[in-house]
Structure 1
Amino acid sequence: MNWSKVVLGLFGICLIGIAGISSAAPLQLTSHQAVYDLRLEELSDNSGIEGVRGRIVMKIEQQCDGLIVNQRMVLEMINFEGNVIVSDYSQSTWEDNSGRMMRFDMSNMLNGQLIEKYSGVAEHRENGTIVEFSDPDQPNMELPNDVIFPGEHTRQVLKAAATGKNLLSAKVYDGNGEDGLSDTLAVIGKAQTLLAPPKSEKGLKGQTFWPLQISFFDLSQQQTEPDYKIAMKIFGNGVATDLHLDYSDFSLRGDIAELTFLAPEKCS
């Protein structure tokens, strides 16, 4: 399995749930850091894996002109021979509030060895949408004309949720190098209120959330089944809880271990 694909789309998780849907002002997130403990939920018979555990750390900082997202995901997998495989993925992005441009930097390590590293800029231009990588040997990517970045995907999901729609299809490029382009299908549930949160989520008591599932399809292949699915509860302040990461060989559940709200940047 390409383990960088394991966290493809988590960037979208941290963007969903902007506080306020007014068209009069830029949509804003609540700056916060969330730590998720991952545990194995289901395992297929032919996976070759005996156990999986891990952790995700996501830090979201809403600035006046854009959004900074830093995420890291570490997975420890044990195969049937008892060998331990450690995947360490990290990604940093900045996206302007208009969704016109995104800078990204990602790396993926397996057992301490670097196997992937990408950095660059994705931008909507007059002549199309282009990804320019920092490595001069890496050719540029031309994206479909209707592709959007995660911030715009967020706005579209929220507008759909606010109007009672439960389906949204979109092509999204999330900055995950050559593998960052996916066709997505979001299924949005009915709004609910969190009444009795666990201790780690007490700051969310009384807030509204939507059940959400996003399926990711590889655009380079004709697929009827998604590469993977991510489900969660998503709150209006930008926090995601109750993660379910569903892959072909196994599925994981992610529960919040720590949640810290950060001071917002003061904007004129």
Structure 2
Amino acid sequence: MRLRPSRLLTAGLLVSAWGAQAAPPAAPDAEAKPPAPAIVLANHRAVYDLSLDEGGSSRSVESARGRIVIDFRGDACRGYTMLTRQVTELSSGETGTRLSDMRSTTFEGGQGREFRFKTTTLTNNQPAAPVDGTATDQGNALTVKLKGGPKPFTVDGPVLFPSEHMRRLIEAARAGQSTLSVKVYDGSDDGKKVYDTFAV
């Protein structure tokens, strides 16, 4: 037994198709502009070698060398992870050699609303207290919680996390803005500082 389509349904489809063909095309909008491509932060690894500038030596520091390695991974769906390691060696005739090894791991949510961070530091192989905590952006305020520290503290917003700051810099450049001034929080130092940044 072969099924046949309904004549009414077939006629309706033909009328709809004819109506679609007979309708004049919409006039193009001369003012319409193609949407800007989405901003994608590329995964990358950067290595910087450090040395003391020849004109920057002083009695307190006679030589310095080191290296910074930054590994950035992620996307807007999964969030962004950044691993940073900085090793520096400072030499002085007065105090001897000082070796510092700092390691930092951060995670930022893809929408720039949550931030986790942990930093450990060794100075001459002696560990300092780690800086470990979380931060939450609530739009008009930033709340930071430090493990082992006092109660959470709040900073008036808006405050951006590092990856969101990079996105805003790109947006400003696309819009033709020559400067951008925002507050940025990255959990560095003791985890209690918010930086006022100004990009040109």
Residue 39 (1) aligns with residue 25 (2)? no
Instruction: Quote the Cα distance in structure 2 between the aligned partners of 1:123 and 1:23.
Output: 29
Instruction: Quote the Cα distance in structure 2 between the aligned partners of 1:82 and 1:118.
Output: 27
How far apart are residue 109 of structure 1 and its match?
Answer: 2.0
Q: Deviations over 1:213-247 (max 9, x none)?
A: xxxxxxxxxxxxxxxxxxxxxxxxxxxxxxxxxxx
- Residue in structure 2 matching 1:153, options 165, 173, 185: 165
User: Could you say if the C-alpha distance between residues 166 and 40 of structure 1 is closer, same or farther in structure 2, counting changes exceeding 3 Å?
Assistant: farther
Counterpart of 1:256 in structure 2 is: none
Aligned-residue Cα RMSD (Å) equals 2.3
Residue 132 (1) aligns with residue 145 (2)? yes
Residue 49 (1) aligns with residue 61 (2)? yes
What does residue range 61-210 of structure 1 map to in structure 2 within 5 Å? Answer: 61-63=73-75, 64-81=77-94, 83-125=96-138, 128-135=141-148, 137-176=149-188, 177-187=190-200
What secondary structure, in the 3-state scheme, does the structure 2 residue paired with 1:97 have? coil
How far apart are residue 116 of structure 1 and its match?
Answer: 3.6
How far apart are residue 108 of structure 1 and its match?
Answer: 2.0
What secondary structure, in the 3-state scheme, does the structure 2 residue paired with 1:98 have? coil
- Gap regions ≥5 residues in structure 2: 1-34
What secondary structure, in the 3-state scheme, does the structure 2 residue paired with 1:178 have? coil
User: Could you say if the C-alpha distance between residues 76 and 35 of structure 1 is closer, same or farther in structure 2, counting changes exceeding 3 Å?
Assistant: same
How far apart are residue 36 of structure 1 and its match?
Answer: 1.9
Contact 2:137 2:159 (8 Å CA) reproduced: no
Runs of 4+ in 1 over 6 A off after TM superposition: none
How far apart are residue 142 of structure 1 and its match?
Answer: 1.3
Larger radius of gyration: 2
Q: Deviations over 1:145-200 (max 9, x none)?
A: 2211112211221122223333211111101243442111112xxxxxxxxxxxxx
- Residue in structure 1 matching 2:72, options 35, 55, 60: 60
- Gap regions ≥5 residues in structure 1: 1-21, 188-268
How far apart are residue 73 of structure 1 and its match?
Answer: 0.3
- Could you say which structure has the higher strand fraction? 1
Instruction: Quote the Cα distance in structure 2 between the aligned partners of 1:52 and 1:112.
Output: 18
Contact 2:81 2:107 (8 Å CA) reproduced: yes
Instruction: Quote the Cα distance in structure 2 between the aligned partners of 1:127 and 1:164.
Output: 26
Contact 2:141 2:155 (8 Å CA) reproduced: yes
Using CA pairs below 8 Å that are at least 6 residues apart, which structure has the higher relative contact order? 1
User: Could you say if the C-alpha distance between residues 78 and 147 of structure 1 is closer, same or farther in structure 2, counting changes exceeding 3 Å?
Assistant: same
What secondary structure, in the 3-state scheme, does the structure 1 residue paired with 2:191 have? helix
Q: TM-score, normalised by structure 1?
A: 0.55
Q: TM-score, normalised by structure 2?
A: 0.72
